[in-house]
């Protein structure tokens, strides 16, 4: 997926190192979603997806950086969020994206659920870290 | 000219024109505070302060940290505490002390001796003014820490809604630590109030992700083990859609859109239980 954050001038960057950071990152994403005119349902879905991915990054990747930016494409407007960590990476992406599978003690719905909550979902993972990029479009 | 004659000059002046100075002082401070404090109260406060100041000066001291000024200091600390609680600014508070300088200025700048006395007095008032700022800040810190404590207690209330029905209105985010507190309080309240129904209301939880859902489910399971029937209420439309998309299943846990619906349902069940009990006895 294109790195929309790099192209945007109003990118917000939030480091996530504690669970308190997840809460403030969520607020940043919510504010951005409101500014981009996403409906309440779309806002809630995006924020929930961001919450899942942010917490995954914290629990499995040892924390990382979140970048969020508004995107406009072909008359639609939406929100782009990128989660980048320098953790050990995900060994089996297909397995990790399976409902109910977890390597920790969660519900095993975070990654797969987040994918369902957004319109575009892209994940790259290797031994040097994991990057997840999502876009949620407005109506 | 030494400290002693300076203080004598100050005491003489302050004694001779006491009423005049006091009235002027109260007026100046009153203007600063723009009528947010009654003139009678202000007059009493400043009167006490004036007398204490005069007594300390009569004892021959100009050292604000000295024993002689003990009474003045405690009066000032009291004044600052009150101002901080009433929402005045630190400037308002310190100005109450500094205003006395303005009052004294015209009558103490005649000759060289009185100028010297005035300067020494002015230094004293500066120290006392700083003292009020310190006391003010301390009071504000006390207020903030007590509010933080209150907030922590407030954030996880468990309330009895009806005979046999307890409610847990959750506000904010639900992490492991809060879940633990909520669970403990809920289970204890179930026992203490002899309740059979618990309603967990999540109207005030802005984001329900898998972590929050997992904690909610754990709490419900624990309450069920105590024999209570548990309902989750306050599921708003956007939360319902998000939970479905995430793929979270609440299983056979009853959920409601509003707390009142959940309460109505619980009351019905409590009434049915009571009927059954009566029949059982017969």
DSSP state of A110: H
**Residue B174: pLDDT over 80:** no
Select from B237, B238, B247 the Cβ nearest to the Cβ of A109: B247
Crossing angle for the helix pair B237-246 and B210-225, nearest 10 degrees? 100
User: Are residues B248 and B210 in contact, defined by beta-carbon separation less than 8 angstroms?
Assistant: yes
**pLDDT above 90: percentage of residues in chain A:** 63
Per-residue confidence (pLDDT) for residue B150, from 0 to 100? 65
Mean pLDDT, chain A, rounded, equals: 90
* Rounded-to-integer distance, Cα A45 and Cα A81, Å: 13
ipTM here: 0.87
What's the full length of chain A, in residues? 139
Per-residue confidence (pLDDT) for residue B112, from 0 to 100? 84
Instruction: Taking the CA atoms of A74, A80, A84 and A90 in sequence, report the sign of the dihedral they define.
Output: negative
Q: What is the mean pLDDT of residues A104-126?
A: 90
CATH of B3-150, one of 1.10.287.610, 1.10.10.10, 3.90.1150.10, 1.10.490.10: 1.10.490.10
Least confident window among A32-46, B215-229, B266-280 = B266-280
Residues 82-101 of A with CB under 8 A from B: 99
What are the tokens at B144? 């903030």
A99·B213 Cβ contact <8 A: no
* Residue B173: closest C-alpha in chain A: A23
**Residue B238: pLDDT over 90:** yes
Per-residue confidence (pLDDT) for residue B282, from 0 to 100? 60
**Domains defined along chain A, listed by start:** 4-137 (3.30.565.10)
Q: How far is B245 from chain A, CA to nearest CA, in Å?
A: 6
B210·A52 Cβ contact <8 A: yes
A109·B211 Cβ contact <8 A: no
What are the tokens at B180? 């633990």
Distances (CA, A) of A13 to A9, A35, A47, A65, A78: 12, 16, 15, 7, 17
Q: pLDDT digit string (tens) for A33-65? A: 999 999 999 999 999 999 999 999 999 999 999
pTM of the model: 0.62
Q: pLDDT digit string (tens) for B74-120? A: 999 999 998 888 888 888 889 889 999 888 888 877 788 888 888 88
What's the full length of chain B, in residues? 282
Mean pLDDT, chain B, rounded, equals: 86
Q: pLDDT digit string (tens) for B8-21? A: 888 888 888 888 89
Domains in chain B: boundaries: 3-150, 159-281
Q: Chain B contact for A2, CB < 8 A?
A: no
Q: pLDDT digit string (tens) for B152-169? A: 556 678 899 998 999 999
Q: Which residues contact B110 (CB under 8 A, 6 or more apart)?
A: none
Q: Which helix (H) or strand (E) holds A41?
A: helix A40-61
What are the tokens at B66? 């000295």
Per-residue confidence (pLDDT) for residue B39, from 0 to 100? 84
Per-residue confidence (pLDDT) for residue B149, from 0 to 100? 63
* Residue A111: closest C-alpha in chain B: B246
* Rounded-to-integer distance, Cα A32 and Cα A117, Å: 17
Q: Which helix (H) or strand (E) holds A72?
A: strand A64-73
Q: Of residues B67 and A79, which shows the higher confidence score?
A: A79
- Sequential DSSP letters for B36-101: SS-HHHHHHHHHHHHHHHHHHHHTT---TTSGGGHHHHHHHHHHHHHHHHHT--HHHHHHHHHHHH
Q: What is the mean pLDDT of residues B190-204?
A: 92
Q: Of residues B175 and B71, which shows the higher confidence score?
A: B71
In this structure, CATH architecture of domain B159-281? 2-Layer Sandwich (3.30)
* Rounded-to-integer distance, Cα B32 and Cα B39, Å: 12
Are domains B3-150 and B159-281 of this chain identical in fold?
A: no
């Amino acid at each position: 997926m294109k790195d929309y954050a790099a192209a945007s001038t109003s990118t917000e960057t939030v480091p996530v190192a504690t669970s308190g950071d997840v809460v403030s990152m969520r607020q940043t994403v919510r504010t951005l979603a409101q500014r981009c005119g996403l409906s309440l349902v779309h806002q809630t879905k995006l924020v929930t997806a961001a919450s899942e991915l942010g917490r995954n990054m914290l629990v499995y990747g040892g924390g990382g950086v979140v970048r969020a930016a508004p995107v406009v494409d072909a008359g639609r407007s939406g929100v782009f969020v990128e989660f980048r960590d320098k953790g050990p990476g995900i060994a089996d992406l297909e397995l990790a994206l399976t409902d109910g599978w977890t390597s920790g003690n969660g519900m095993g719905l975070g990654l797969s659920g987040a994918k369902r909550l957004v319109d575009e979902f892209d994940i790259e993972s290797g031994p040097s870290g994991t990057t997840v990029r999502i876009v949620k479009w407005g109506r | 000219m030494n400290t002693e004659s300076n203080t004598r000059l100050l005491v003489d002046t302050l004694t001779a024109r006491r009423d005049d100075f006091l009235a002027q002082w109260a007026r100046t401070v009153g203007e600063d505070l723009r009528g947010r404090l009654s003139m009678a109260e202000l007059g009493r406060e400043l009167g006490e302060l004036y007398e204490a100041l005069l007594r300390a000066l009569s004892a021959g001291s100009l050292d604000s940290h000295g024993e002689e000024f003990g009474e003045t200091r405690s009066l000032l600390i009291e004044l600052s505490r009150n101002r901080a609680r009433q929402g005045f600014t630190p400037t308002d508070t310190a100005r109450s002390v500094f205003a006395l300088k303005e009052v004294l200025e015209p009558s103490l700048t005649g000759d060289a001796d009185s100028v010297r006395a005035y300067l020494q007095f002015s230094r004293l008032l500066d120290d006392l003014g700083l003292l009020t700022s310190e006391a003010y800040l301390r009071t504000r810190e006390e207020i903030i820490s007590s509010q933080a404590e209150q907030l922590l207690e407030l954030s996880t209330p468990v309330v009895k809604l009806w005979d046999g029905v307890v409610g847990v209105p959750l506000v904010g985010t639900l992490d492991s630590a809060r879940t633990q507190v909520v669970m403990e309080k809920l289970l204890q309240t179930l026992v203490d109030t002899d309740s059979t129904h618990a309603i967990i209301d999540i109207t005030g939880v802005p984001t329900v992700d898998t972590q929050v859902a997992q904690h909610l489910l754990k709490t419900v399971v624990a309450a069920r083990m105590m024999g209570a029937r548990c309902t989750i209420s306050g599921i708003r439309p956007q939360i319902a859609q998000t939970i479905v998309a995430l793929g979270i299943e609440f299983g056979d846990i009853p959920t409601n859109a509003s707390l009142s619906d959940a309460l109505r349902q619980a009351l019905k069940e409590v009434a049915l239980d009571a009927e059954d009990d009566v029949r059982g006895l017969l």
